[in-house]
Amino acid sequence: MRLLALFLAPLAALAADQPNIIFILADDLGAHDLGCFGSTFHETPNLDRLAKRGTRFTQAYAASPLCSPTRSSILVGQYPARTGITAPVCHLPTVLLEKRLAENENGKTRVLVADSLTRLRPEYFTLAEAFKEAGYATAHFGKWHLGHNLKPADHYEPKDQGFDSDFPHTPSAPGPGGGYLAPWKFIKDPTITDTAGVNIEDRMSQEAAKYIASHKGKPFYLNYWAFSVHSPWNARADYIEHFKAKADPKNQQHNALYAAMVKSLDDGIGRLLQAVDDAGIADNTIIVFYSDNGGYAYPPKKTDPDGYAEIPATSNLPLRSGKASLYEGGTREPFLFAWPGKAKAGETSDILFQSVDFYPTLLSLAGLKPRAGLKLDGHDQSKALLGGDSPRDRVFCHFPHGNATRDSVMDGFYAGTYVRKGDWKLIRFYARNDDGSDDLELYDLKNDLGERRNLAKEKPELVQELNGLITGFLKDTEAVIPKVNPNFGKAAPKAPAKKKTLAPDDLPGGWKNRAGKATVIEGALHLESKGEGSFIGVGAGLSAGPAKLSFRLRAPQAGEGKITLLGSAGGAEMLSVPYRTSGEASWQTINVELNARQAAGLLRLYLPAGSAAVDLDDIVLTPAQGTPRRWEF
């Protein structure tokens, strides 16, 4: 027994010395959305208090202008260009685990972009697994959006990636579908019920506070990855009224609904801070606050309540643009780091920091080292966070998505890569020039933070140097590089298609055809629509409650279809949910949330109006409980 005690004593001492880590990640929060980062409209007293406890970093970057890629960069310490998760598509049912260029869509697309992976591959040794291996308790709260399991052999969810617990367990949810206020449609766990109107951040932070209280005697790593302030755009009515009364159109930020969403986020974080203080562990707890991409600096278009759809949700000025953009508004983030007695309280730092740095940095702060042989793109910035110098002098961002249509709406939402070295930033937009060559933009961020004066023609030698850094980065990460579609404007050559014409009631999986002629062509169901009212139907077997239908669809024209639920054959329609098609003649994934008040016997998928022919594939019906049903053709 004495030998055992001697062996366990050092371990106990080590556990007592290691800091707890709380990683708070906001969703779509802008660089200037907090009071401590300059907002004069939003109210964030708790985050402002956190800033006074620690250091505020003004030149911190996300690895991507969209969420899932940045989330993956935090957990594995690698650039999205390397992992292949370059777009927020990890909620899709299709499992894609290899990097590739998108297929030629019959010459309709001018620039071929990347197909992002749809899951974080389980072979990665995540930051959570590293802490767990070191004896930490690990917990994930909130949004995941890095993959979900469709069958028992899958391992893509938080508990598969190093977390002991996961609340409220929504791995397939890209956002709080149906809204932030209870009852919550995007949470499938029937035991999670709250009084109508409760904000998910309130409930989630209450659970996280309980976790902190119950784990105060053992080191823990807690992810609090908030759903706020991602769409859908809704919030507490009393908060909206509060900000409506003080909104001033002359203020660059004046959307009262969005301000109410920010306040609920701050409420939740205040609850975490109070839990840390109450547990008496503040001096031994590292708290990180970050955002996954830039703020949504565009009109929301649809809000609940109405009245705020045409007011930009936020403003990132003086930064240019916002979410989804390669300009500064798309990837510069609010970063707070607090560790009483270690981090400088109330200070501001302008070191360069990027989300890939968290992996080696947090391990180092806890006295740990990354696993030997592990590939990391991040720098250990532990000394820099405590007031020292930074080893980072450049940041990269590779975003192989977007097109001219999106760029016209969300400035900078175009396939490209940028490098920032010192105060100079070069963006390479792929094949954007009329002749198909890359378009290069050079900015001096020290004197032109808003990126309005392109100096590329004035400084060709600097452009050449920085462009060479981009080329080296792309080669090192084996990035998928967008390129001009060689078949743009003409039909792409195809091998003779394998066709099989089906009888009206001979569709796979029990589907009934009430549209037109049906043919299976190279694994997809091709339907010739008879016009309005054309549909295919199948036995639903759904119990009352939430469910989801997802499917891949290709239609040559934009239009609206619908999904309906019926009680039984010939019975009355009990639910009808519309969906829209883009009309880009390319495959589009449609996700429809269903919430029947009673059991549904039949499901009908009505084809979009205006399209004479439609292709369908990979239909997945996911009930609230039980195993999803999948149909492939």
User: Which percentage of the chain shows pLDDT scores above 90?
Assistant: 71
Residue 498 has a pLDDT of 54
Q: Tell which of 354, 385, 416 closes a domain.
A: 385
412, 320 Cβ separation under 8 angstroms = yes
| Cα 42 from Cα 576, distance rounded (Å) | 38
Residue 440 lies in a domain: no
- Phi, psi of 256, deg, nearest 5: -65, -35
- The verdict on 380 and 503 lying in the same domain is no
Token readout for 578 is 């519309």
CATH code of the domain covering residue 612: 2.60.120.260
Q: Among 239-243, 259-263, 447-451, 542-546, name the one with the lowest average pLDDT.
A: 542-546
Give a yes or no: residue 419 inside a domain. no
Domain boundary pick from 337, 370, 385: 385
Q: What pLDDT, in 10s, does the model give residues 313-323? A: 999 999 999 99
**Could you give phi then psi for residue 287, rounded to 5 degrees?**
-120, 125
Average pLDDT score over the chain:
91
Domain of residue 591 covers 499-631
Kindly list the distances between the CA atom of residue 91 and the CA atoms of 119, 161, 172, 422, in Å, as whole numbers in the listed order.
Answer: 8, 16, 5, 36
Alpha carbon distance 120, 138 (integer Å): 18
128's enclosing H/E stretch is helix 127-133
- Given 385, 400, 418, the domain boundary residue is 385
200 three-class SS: helix
**Domain-located, residue 390:** no
CA–CA distance, 609 with 92 (Å, rounded to integer): 24
At residue 126 the predicted structure's pLDDT band, cuts being 50, 70 and 90, is very high
Read off the tokens for 97.
């685990």
14 has a pLDDT exceeding 60:
no
pLDDT exceeds cutoff 50 at 6 = no
* 347-363: average pLDDT: 98
The pLDDT score that the predictor gives to residue 570 is: 62
pLDDT of residue 569: 63
Q: Name the pTM for this structure.
A: 0.78
pLDDT digits (tens, 9 = 90+) for 332-346: 999 999 999 999 999
Q: Which of 198-207, 212-221, 586-595 has the lowest mean pLDDT?
A: 586-595
Q: How far apart are CA 376 and CA 77, in angstroms?
A: 5
> How many CB atoms are closer than 10 A to CB 464?
11
Residue 484 lies in a domain: no
SS3 content of the chain, % helix, strand, coil (to 5): 25, 25, 50
Is 459 domain-assigned? no
Residues 36 and 174 in one domain: yes
Number of domains observed in the structure of the chain: 2
Claim to verify: residue 199 and residue 347 sit in the same structural domain: yes
Q: 503 and 381, same structural domain? A: no
> Could you tell me the CATH number of the domain that includes residue 195?
3.40.720.10
Each residue's pLDDT tens digit, 66-104: 999 999 999 999 999 999 999 999 999 899 999 999 987
- The pair of structure tokens assigned to 143 is 């949004």
Q: How many helices (H) and strands (E) does the chain have?
A: 13, 31
- Reported as type and span, the H/E element at residue 600 is strand 600-606
Percent of the chain exceeding pLDDT 70 equals 93
Burial 424-439 (b: 16+ CB within 10 A, else e): bbbbbbbbbeeeeebb
pLDDT at 552: 87
Interval 226-234 mean pLDDT: 96
